[in-house]
Amino acid sequence: MTDYKSLVWDGLLDLSAYVPGKPVKELERELGLKNIVKLASNENPYGASKKAVDALKEYEKDITRYPIGDSFYLRQEIAAFHNVDIDNIVCGAGSDEIIQLLYMAFLTSDTHALAPSPSFSEYELLARGLKSSCKWVETNDDFTTNFENILNAVNEKTRFIMLANPNNPTGTLFSSAEFISFMDRLSSQVLVVLDEAYIEFAEGDYPDAISLMKKYNNLMTMRTFSKAYGLASIRCGYLVADKECISLINRIRPPFNVNSAAQIMCAEAIKDQDHIKNVVALNKQGKEYIYNEVKKLGLEYVATHTNFMLIKVGNGKKVFDDMLKEGVIVRFLGGDRLKEYIRVSIGTDKENEVFINALKKVLNK
Ligand SMILES: *Cc1c(COP(=O)(O)O)cnc(C)c1O
């Protein structure tokens, strides 16, 4: 028998696999239920742009060929959308891969990434997979970013600061002024990644990453087609950064990392901003509905700039489990600060109603 555990590098055995939101089919199988509602992974319930879906016909013609290695035509559309040069962009199989590529290029085992807590667990998972680590820095009591804490935690070993804005799982947003003051005080040798996975949903004042990149050479922004664009299954995201940064990443990027379907669909999706406006408006209605219903139940929630929100329910794990039995999949993040919360993605009107009714039942309200 091969002893695989003896063959891995030191530290791998300390890691555990990422646990995604439970897929609908899995719960159907387990409980023998139908009509399950999944509000666990911040997916877009209204679907993708019709133009993007129609473009799949193009893909079918070329299914036997390798994808375009550098996602040229997709990058061309992204460049036009952001008004940057095509050489400022690299595409990846989701933001996941972009984070991994950044880490592979710049993170070493004696340097670390740093991020506010709670935030996206993949910042740590992917760093640890590369024998590095992620240092977590507590947010304020209301879960807003504490830039003072972050600056105090930075040292000469800090290579990345990962800032999701709006943040997952809290839904909070930081302003342009607080971000600029932070950037002014940070060394230009520390790389700042603005993860703007939910930026389409944000309202009010927030940093304009693309224009700030002209002043702060160490700043970069990451976007995804998985959330507002409704293309989570296609796996596509991109990074806008300094040209030298992009060119270094290209040295370690797998040659065909973005599949043809993703390239073709996303190039159409980004041109269809009417679809995004529509999705954002519908999301806002759903959000207001859930705010109101949750208030009526006397529960606290964290105001959100995204398509999901944290609701304080008491015993978060128990409510999560009880909701599953009602056929509603939400997310329990746990940990010291989130043990009393569940995170729910905003769904269609119908899904939101099912969620609220199940929540009432579970909480005996
Ligand atoms: C969902 C999400 C992403 C997107 O990941 P993809 O790999 O592009 O699907 C990135 N960052 C955060 C904070 C997210 O919640």
Mean pLDDT (the chain) is 96
CA of 224 to the centre of ligand 1 (A): 7
- Closest C-alpha among 229, 226, 199, 227 to residue 50: 229
Residue 136's pLDDT is 98
Q: What is the rounded CA–CA span in Å between residue 356 and residue 304?
A: 17
Q: Is the pLDDT of residue 362 over 80?
A: yes
195 Cβ closer than 6 Å to some ligand 1 atom: yes
224 Cβ closer than 6 Å to some ligand 1 atom: yes
- Closest C-alpha among 99, 106, 146 to residue 125: 99
SS3 assignment for 120-161: CCHHHHHHHHCCCEEEEEECCCCCCCCHHHHHHHCCCCEEEE
| Residue with tokens 């790389």, as numbered in its chain | 191
Dump pLDDT digits (tens) for 122-166.
999 999 999 999 999 999 999 999 999 999 999 999 999 999 999
Residue 10's pLDDT is 87
Which is the closest atom of ligand 1 to the Cα of 235?
A: 9
Which is the closest atom of ligand 1 to the Cα of 226?
A: 9
Across residues 291-319, what is the average pLDDT? Answer: 98
Alpha helices in 65-141 (DSSP H): 72-82, 94-106, 122-129
- Closest C-alpha among 126, 132, 131 to residue 159: 132
CA of 226 to the centre of ligand 1 (A): 7
Q: Say what percent of the chain tops pLDDT 90.
A: 92
- Closest C-alpha among 125, 143, 145 to residue 134: 125
Residue 25's pLDDT is 86
> Reading across the β-sheet that carries 89-92, which strands appear in turn?
89-92, 237-240, 219-224, 191-195, 158-164, 112-117, 133-138
Residue 34's pLDDT is 83
CA of 32 to the centre of ligand 1 (A): 30
Dump pLDDT digits (tens) for 60-119.
888 999 999 999 999 999 999 999 999 999 999 999 999 999 999 999 999 999 999 999
Pocket test for ligand 1, best of 120, 239, 266 (most atoms within 8 A of CB): 120
Q: What is the rounded CA–CA span in Å between residue 43 and residue 327?
A: 17
Pocket test for ligand 1, best of 78, 95, 168, 225 (most atoms within 8 A of CB): 95
Dump pLDDT digits (tens) for 16-35.
888 887 788 888 888 888 88
Residue-wise burial string across 118-138, b where 16 or more C-beta atoms lie within 10 A, e elsewhere? bbbbbbbbbbbeeebbbbbbe
Residue 234's SS3 state is helix
95 Cβ closer than 6 Å to some ligand 1 atom: yes
Which is the closest atom of ligand 1 to the Cα of 42?
A: 1
CA of 229 to the centre of ligand 1 (A): 12
CA of 42 to the centre of ligand 1 (A): 9
Nearest CA owner, ligand 1 atom 5? 95
Dump pLDDT digits (tens) for 176-232.
999 999 999 999 999 999 999 999 999 999 999 999 999 999 999 999 999 999 999
Q: Which two tokens stand for residue 95?
A: 């933001």
120 Cβ closer than 6 Å to some ligand 1 atom: yes
Whether 320 and 343 have beta carbons less than 8 Å apart is answered as: no
197 Cβ closer than 6 Å to some ligand 1 atom: yes
